[in-house]
Amino acid sequence: SAVISQKPSRDICQRGTSLTIQCQVDSQVTMMFWYRQQPGQSLTLIATANQGSEATYESGFVIDKFPISRPNLTFSTLTVSNMSPEDSSIYLCSGSSGTNEQFFGPGTRLTVL
């Protein structure tokens, strides 16, 4: 199984600012994903991070709000842009090595004031 780390683990941000979350995998993975989890809720897929090309976004999520980079097979970033209190959530990164088993990072707990 892959070990996934995220930075920062938590942050408190002001309305209108942006935050970039980093995701590092300890081995090469075929696919990387970004999810959002509201407190007490399940996971909602934001996008699939594609290496060397634009991310694939799910319905309701757009690149201008959640730009994603994936420069190689072990690293990805998610930026939450122009934040509002509604963006307060846990953001999770996951990776899959092609067997459909996905492993998750510990999450980034974001609070927007």
Name the residues that contact other proteins, by CB under 8 A.
1, 4, 31, 33, 41-43, 45, 48, 58, 92, 100-107, 109
Task: Give the residue with the Cβ less far from other proteins, 14 or 40.
Answer: 40
Q: Which residues contact 58 (CB under 8 A, 6 or more apart)?
A: 44, 45, 46, 47
- Rounded to a whole number, what is the distance in angstroms from the first to the last CA of the chain? 37
For residue 98, the minimal CB distance to other proteins (Å) is 11
- Please identify, using beta-carbon distances, which residue of 14 and 42 lies nearer to other proteins: 42
Is the sign of the CA dihedral 11, 6, 69, 49 positive or negative? Answer: negative
Minimum Å distance from CB 45 to other proteins? 6
Q: Smallest distance, Å, CB 16 to other proteins? A: 27
Closer CB to other proteins, 17 or 28, in the complex: 28
